[in-house]
Amino acid sequence: MLELKDVHTYYGNIHALKGISLTVDDGEIVTLIGSNGAGKTTTLRTIQGLIRPRHGTITLNGEDLTKVPAHEITSKGVSQSPEGRLIFPRMTVKENLEMGAFARKDKDGIKRDMERVFTVFPRLKERISQKGGTLSGGEQQMLAMGRALMANPRVLLLDEPSMGLSPILVEQIFKIISELHAQGTTILLVEQNARMALSIASRGYVLQTGEIRLQGPAARLRDDEDVRKTYLGEH
Amino acid sequence: MRIGQRVLLASVGIYLLLFFGPLAGFDLFRVIGEIANKPSTLLQQLLIGLANGSLLALIALGYTLVYGIIELVNFAHGDVYMLGAFMSLTVIGAFNVDKGSSPAIKATAIVVAFLSAVVFTAGVNALIERVAYRRLRNAPRLAVLISAIGMSFIVQNVGLFWGSLRAFFPIMGVNSAAPKAFPDLIGRIDVFKDILHIDVPIAFNTKDLLVIVMASVLMIGLRLFVQYTKLGKAMRATAENRDAAKIMGIDVDRVISFTFLLGGALAGAAGLLVGLYNNTAVFTMGFTAGLRAFTAAVVGGIGNITGAMLGGMLIGILAAFSDQYFSSRWTNAWVFAVLVMVMVFRPTGLLGESVGQKA
Ligand SMILES: Nc1ncnc2c1ncn2[C@@H]1O[C@H](COP(=O)(O)OP(=O)(O)OP(=O)(O)O)[C@@H](O)[C@H]1O
Ligand SMILES: [Mg+2]
């Protein structure tokens, strides 16, 4: 359903994505792994319309998104929990979640999704009237994911949801991602924690300096010698 | 800054104040004597300060709204306020009303002037953003700043030109650069003595009342709007993090345009109110008022709406005190001294949050 074909993205003269092609099918979890500066965040920002690709196309269910303004891409069903979380620090948890549903008009659906977010992240309900900036790192990550879910997206993009979290919280976040997947959410997961990412994804892509080096079923990537050495830290 | 440095700076400041203060009218013993002699004057100045301060606050809000959302000091903002006064003057001139006209005609003229000024300045401010700032959104800060200063000069010259159009608008008078007489449509009826029949030693007239009430209504309205409406929340989200706002599906360009509309509208309202209050309008009025209003915004914590209101009131009251007790020639110096003090001891302003928290 989400398809990138030969996408090239630049920052000025820096050629950050050098022809990325990938697909995410309905109901899948696909992971994008790679080391620092490989272009994972750039890929997600390009999909969301925050940066424009210089070449290539991005389509969602056959509809070309390449020239659609960023704010309309959201209403077409793409939302994300971005790198660095980017929650609104001076807005309450409730307001943050409401902002996630900004593009929606179906009041009942929004209410239902708010309940769903609180079921998945009971912690957020306890903090409902607290300012986003006062939350702990783990809570902020939950808020960023909850906020993305409030858009009721067709594809959920997650950029390093385990970043900066304690091992226990990482476990918890990955468990929640599997749950969301089990409930039918389509997910593109960017991770540096390749071991965890490959354990819950069905397929994966390995990104290196703006190019896709390897791709395939998660199980096969886990067994790949290069992946084991470079990304799983095995020798 | 370390505590030791602060104490040192404070001591130097107090030393300088005591030695050079009297030159600028700050003679503590005389001031205390005067206040003890006639305390009602203090109250009187407080009221004058509140009236002027609410006008400053209306203008300061325009600086703060725009700074909050795109981190730009819109130097043209003061001049947009001047256009508001000129538009009001033009409309009131077209109604051909003056002090002696019937209350119904005066009220109609004021309402029409208000609506025209507000719509006009809102449009001008949004247009300025569209032509002078939007293309530079990702350019270095300095480029936008220079563009803003350029717009300020352009708008000021539009005012100068407008003032020369006496063939179309006789109310502009013969000299294009000279202060224009703004008809006195409100009059000075003392609220305590002549309306409430209470005998108090301070004068509070209908003009003060109009200015304070109108400014308060507009400011409370703005506060509620930003806090509770969907568009208001979109403004806050865009101010806090533009990329995140885009991910939420917010049309950031539209929100920024709207912010300029809102700031411009408040400036237009202030332009009319100042005209009615001071009964004069001149093409340079935006520069002087803009400087003070900007100071008010910074003192309150630029980017913070409540801060701009508070800063406006504080600067208004300070200016009134200085006019009365120090020396009106030194009032601007005192205003900027306060700015410097705030910058040294609390760079984020009274209600501002540190920039680091914004990330
Ligand atoms: N705003 C920017 N301006 C210039 N270059 C940038 C910018 N953002 C990213 N880059 C460059 O683009 C390349 C890809 O960066 P990107 O952030 O997409 O990597 P990443 O895979 O997400 O890395 P990380 O794991 O550190 O988050 C890097 O070489 C980076 O230096
Ligand atoms: Mg990244």
pLDDT tens profile B28-76: 788 888 888 888 889 999 999 999 999 999 999 999 999 999 999 999 9
For A116-169, how does the pLDDT look when each residue is reduced to its tens digit (9 = 90+)?
999 999 999 999 999 999 999 999 999 999 999 999 999 999 999 998 888 998
Q: Is A36 in the pocket of ligand 1 (CB under 6 A)?
A: yes
CB pairs under 8 A between A and B: 67
**Full-prediction pTM beyond 0.80?**
yes
Unique residue bearing structure tokens 């010259």: B157
Task: Select from B241, B251, B353 the Cβ nearest to the Cβ of A86.
Answer: B241
CA dihedral B40, B318, B283, B204 (to 10 degrees): -20
ipTM of the complex: 0.95
**How far is A76 from chain B, CA to nearest CA, in Å?**
10
Mean pLDDT of chain B: 91
Mean pLDDT of chain A: 94
Confidence grade of residue B355 (pLDDT, cut at 50, 70, 90): very low
Q: Tell whether the model's pLDDT for residue B357 goes beyond 60.
A: no
d(CA B56, CA B290): 8
Per-residue H/E/C for chain A: CEEEEEEEEEECCEEEEEEEEEEECCCCEEEEECCCCCCHHHHHHHHHCCCCCCEEEEEECCEECCCCCHHHHHHCCEEEECCCCCCCCCCEHHHHHHHHCCCCCCHHHHHHHHHHHHHHCHHHHHCCCCEHHHCCHHHHHHHHHHHHHCCCCCEEEEECCCCCCCHHHHHHHHHHHHHHHHCCCEEEEEECCHHHHHHHCCEEEEEECCEEEEEEEHHHHHHCHHHHHHCCCCC
Gyration radius (Cα) of chain A, Å = 17
| pLDDT value, residue B82 | 98
Instruction: Report the pLDDT averaged over residues B122-148.
Output: 95
Rounded to the nearest angstrom, the distance between the alpha carbon of B23 and the centre of ligand 1 is: 58
What is the DSSP secondary-structure string of B275-331? HHHHSEE-TTHHHHHHHHHHHHHHHH-TT-HHHHHHHHHHHHHHHHHIIIII-GGGH
Strands A78-81 and A155-159: parallel
For A106-119, how does the pLDDT look when each residue is reduced to its tens digit (9 = 90+)?
999 999 999 999 99
How long, in residues, is chain A? 235
Q: Which of B8-12, B140-144, B294-298 has the lowest mean pLDDT?
A: B8-12
Q: Which of A74, A99, A152, A154 to mutate to test the interface with B (most CBs of B within 10 A)?
A: A99
Residues whose CB is less than 8 angstroms from the CB of residue B39 and which lie 6 or more positions away in sequence, other chains included: none
CA distances (Å), origin A29, targets A157, A177, B27, B29: 10, 9, 75, 77
**How far is A4 from chain B, CA to nearest CA, in Å?**
19
Contact criterion met (CB < 8 Å) for A82 and B244:
yes
Residues whose CB is less than 8 angstroms from the CB of residue B24 and which lie 6 or more positions away in sequence, other chains included: B326, B327, B330, B333, B334
| pLDDT value, residue B359 | 32
For A37-84, how does the pLDDT look when each residue is reduced to its tens digit (9 = 90+)?
999 999 999 999 999 999 999 999 999 999 999 999 999 999 999 999
| pLDDT value, residue B358 | 38
For B259-304, how does the pLDDT look when each residue is reduced to its tens digit (9 = 90+)?
999 999 999 999 999 999 999 999 999 998 999 999 999 999 999 9
Contact criterion met (CB < 8 Å) for A91 and B248:
no
What is the DSSP secondary-structure string of B7-30? HHHHHHHHHHHHHHGGGGT--HHH
User: Can you list the domains of chain A with their CATH numbers?
Assistant: 1-77+154-235 (3.40.50.300), 87-152 (no CATH)
Confidence grade of residue B354 (pLDDT, cut at 50, 70, 90): low
Rounded to 5°, the CA angle B256-A83-A235 comes to 165
| pLDDT value, residue A235 | 60
For A8-23, how does the pLDDT look when each residue is reduced to its tens digit (9 = 90+)?
999 999 999 999 999 9
Q: Tell whether the model's pLDDT for residue B1 goes beyond 70.
A: no
Looking only at Cα atoms, what is the longest distance across chain A?
A: 54
| pLDDT value, residue B309 | 95
* Per-residue burial over A130-168, b = 16 or more CB atoms within 10 Å of its CB, e = otherwise: ebbbebeebbbbbbbbbbbbbbbbbbbbbbbbbbebeee
Within 10 A of B92 (CB to CB), how many other CB atoms are there? 24
Return the CATH architecture of domain B51-174+193-345.
Answer: Orthogonal Bundle (1.10)
For A86-107, how does the pLDDT look when each residue is reduced to its tens digit (9 = 90+)?
999 999 999 999 999 999 999 9
Strands A2-11 and A186-191: unpaired
The residue ranges of DSSP E strands in chain B, in sequence order, are 180-181, 280-281
Confidence grade of residue B334 (pLDDT, cut at 50, 70, 90): confident
- Which 8-state DSSP code applies to residue B215? H
> Domain limits of chain B?
51-174+193-345
